[in-house]
Amino acid sequence: DTTGYGVLGRLAQALREQRAPYRTGSYSVSGDARILHGVVPADVVDESGVVRYAAYGRLAPDIRRMTSRVAANALAEHFSGALNSSVVRTEKLGAALENTSVSSAFADTSISQQLRQVARLIASRAEAGLERECFFVSLGGFDMHDEVIAALRDQLSLVNDALESFVSEMRALGVWEQVALLSASDFGRTLSSNGRGTDHAWGGNQWVIGGSIAGGKVLGKYPSRLSSGAEIIDRGRVIPTTSWEAPWNAVAQWFGVEDDFLSQALPARGNFMPGALFSQADLFRN
């Protein structure tokens, strides 16, 4: 569904609309991210920081006059409103981050710089007046049909370095217990080689880390054998036994989504048997 909302977009909406709502913000540091699509608009921040309109101070009155005129065409009216709100929001966000710095060293790689901007946004949360925030970062280059061993080692090294810096900064800010990070991928990989690498598959595994995570364990059903079995077909393609909704159900509960709004955040939630989705107690210490 190319018009559907993303899981973080739905989470943000539920948090805003429930009986005890939270002031919620959403940010992508990797372009327009479908996972954040929803009623709550997401801010898109460049990995180098907020790109502000240099002439805003001089032209702000003209922008307001130009965009405040009511247009007869609905599309023009929408564009006018979006232009004004984006320019104003960019200036406000840029001003909030202008004097926000980090104490931890971040490598000069895309994923490290993305997480550096997330750290800066979290550090400015008091000025933004937000109680819950969703962030999206990404790293490509995992479609490894050849040279998988060396390439995967290099990619995971980038991820590890970025996470070490980010965790260090969260601890320095005193908020590590309030942060959770989840990995996700478009698809899995075959367990058997194509000769030099791996091909597209179905099931896979992901990690969750955070200051409140009850870590050091594997949730879900891990294959008893990696070469054959009821859940493995055609060159090691694993049939998923744990749903995408399983960890997000736990995260939504931890995030503060009320029980009556969990199905709004996770529309497919009602399709699963009791116990098929992880709870907050499964994933978090408190």
More confident residue, 14 or 202: 14
Q: How far apart are CA 64 and CA 45, in angstroms?
A: 23
Burial state string for 82-109 with b = 16 or more CB within 10 A and e = fewer than 16: eebeebbebbebbebbeeeebebebeeb
Mean pLDDT for 146-174 is 94
Are residues 238 and 232 in contact, defined by beta-carbon separation less than 8 angstroms? Answer: yes
SS3 label, residue 213: strand
More confident residue, 224 or 275: 275
- Angle between helix axes 56-68 and 74-98 (nearest 10 degrees) is 150
Nearest to 267 by CA among 3, 14, 2, 52: 14
Rg (CA), the chain: 21
Q: What is the model's pTM?
A: 0.89
Long-range contact set of residues 223-232: C-beta below 8 Å, sequence gap at least 24: 226/191, 227/191, 227/192, 231/203, 232/191
233 forms bridges with which residues in the sheet?
237
SS3 label, residue 155: helix
Per-residue pLDDT band for 103 (boundaries 50, 70, 90) equals very high
Which two tokens mark 79? 């564009």
Lowest mean pLDDT among 13-27, 128-142, 162-176, 221-235: 221-235
SS3 label, residue 258: coil
Sketch the domain layout of the chain as residue ranges. 7-49+106-282
Mean pLDDT for 15-25 is 96
Each residue's pLDDT tens digit, 236-251: 888 888 999 999 999 9
Are residues 243 and 211 in contact, defined by beta-carbon separation less than 8 angstroms? Answer: no
Are residues 41 and 148 in contact, defined by beta-carbon separation less than 8 angstroms? Answer: no
Look at residue 2 in the predicted model and tell me its pLDDT. 57
Are residues 243 and 219 in contact, defined by beta-carbon separation less than 8 angstroms? Answer: no
Q: How far apart are CA 111 and CA 22, in angstroms?
A: 29
Nearest to 152 by CA among 178, 185, 107: 185
Which two tokens mark 78? 């929408």
Q: How far apart are CA 158 and CA 23, in angstroms?
A: 33
Mean pLDDT for 34-46 is 91
Look at residue 112 in the predicted model and tell me its pLDDT. 98
Pairing of strands 132-136, 24-28: parallel
Cβ neighbourhood burial of 172 (10 Å; 0-12, 13-18, 19+): middle
Each residue's pLDDT tens digit, 114-144: 999 999 999 988 888 899 999 999 999 888 8
Each residue's pLDDT tens digit, 49-100: 887 777 777 777 777 777 777 777 888 777 777 777 778 778 788 788 888 8
Are residues 71 and 58 in contact, defined by beta-carbon separation less than 8 angstroms? Answer: no
DSSP state of 4: P
Q: How far apart are CA 27 and CA 193, in angstroms?
A: 37
Mean pLDDT for 159-174 is 98
Q: How far apart are CA 36 and CA 207, in angstroms?
A: 20
